[in-house]
Amino acid sequence: MLNALIHAKHGKHEDGEERVSWRQTFRAIEDHVTASIFERLSYLSAPCAMRLLHGTTRRNRPKDAETLFSWRSVSLDRMEFWPCWDDPSDNRRSREPDVYCEWQVGDPVRSLHLIVEAKPGSIAQLKDQWVGELKSYHHVQELEGAEEPDIIGFLAIGGRISDPQDFMKAVRAASPEVQVAIGGWEDLARALYFELKANTLPWERRILQDMSDALRLFGYIYVPFLPTLKSMPVISEGAINRIGIRT
DSSP conformation letters of 7-51: TT-S-EEEETTEEEEHHHHHHH-HHHHHHHHHHHHHHS-HHHHHH
Question: Would you say residue 8 lies in a domain?
Answer: no
pLDDT at 234: 65
If one counts every other C-beta atom within 10 angstroms of the C-beta of residue 34, the result is 22
Which DSSP letter does residue 181 get?
A: E
pTM given for the model = 0.82
Long-range contacts: 23-28, Cβ < 8 Å, 24+?
Answer: 23/217, 26/217, 27/217, 27/218, 27/219
pLDDT given for residue 32 in this prediction: 81
pLDDT (0 to 100) of residue 46: 97
Beta carbons of 78 and 65 less than 8 angstroms apart: no
22 lies in some domain: no
- Tell which residue, 89, 29, 62, 59, has the closest CA to residue 218: 29
pLDDT score of 247: 42
Give the count of domains, the chain.
1
If one counts every other C-beta atom within 10 angstroms of the C-beta of residue 203, the result is 10
Q: Is 221 a domain residue?
A: yes
Q: Do 97 and 115 touch, CB atoms closer than 8 A? A: yes
Domain hosting 148: range is 30-246
pLDDT of residue 26: 47
Query: For residues 42 and 37, what is the distance between their CA atoms, to the nearest angstrom?
Result: 9
Is residue 9 in a domain?
Answer: no
108 within domain boundaries:
yes
In a domain, 111, yes or no: yes
Q: What is the pLDDT along the chain (247 residues), one digit of tens a residue?
A: 555 555 555 445 455 556 555 445 545 556 788 988 999 999 999 999 999 999 999 877 668 888 899 999 999 999 999 999 999 988 778 999 999 999 999 999 999 999 999 998 788 999 999 999 999 999 999 999 999 999 999 999 999 998 988 999 999 998 999 999 999 999 999 999 999 999 999 999 999 999 999 999 888 889 887 655 666 666 666 665 666 544 4
Identify the pLDDT of residue 2: 58
Within-domain flag for 183 = yes
What distance in Å separates the CA atoms of residue 182 and residue 220, rounded to the nearest whole number? 17
CA dihedral 121, 129, 145, 38 (to 10 degrees): -10
Query: What per-residue confidence (pLDDT) applies to 19?
Result: 54
Helices (H), 74-126: none
Strand 151-157 to 110-118 pairing: parallel
CB 152, CB 106: distance < 8 Å = no
CATH of the domain at 217: 3.40.91
For 163, other C-beta atoms within 10 Å of its C-beta total 10
**Residue 168 counted as domain residue:** yes
**CA pair distance 65, 173, nearest whole angstrom:** 19
Say if CB 54 and CB 42 are below 8 A apart.
no
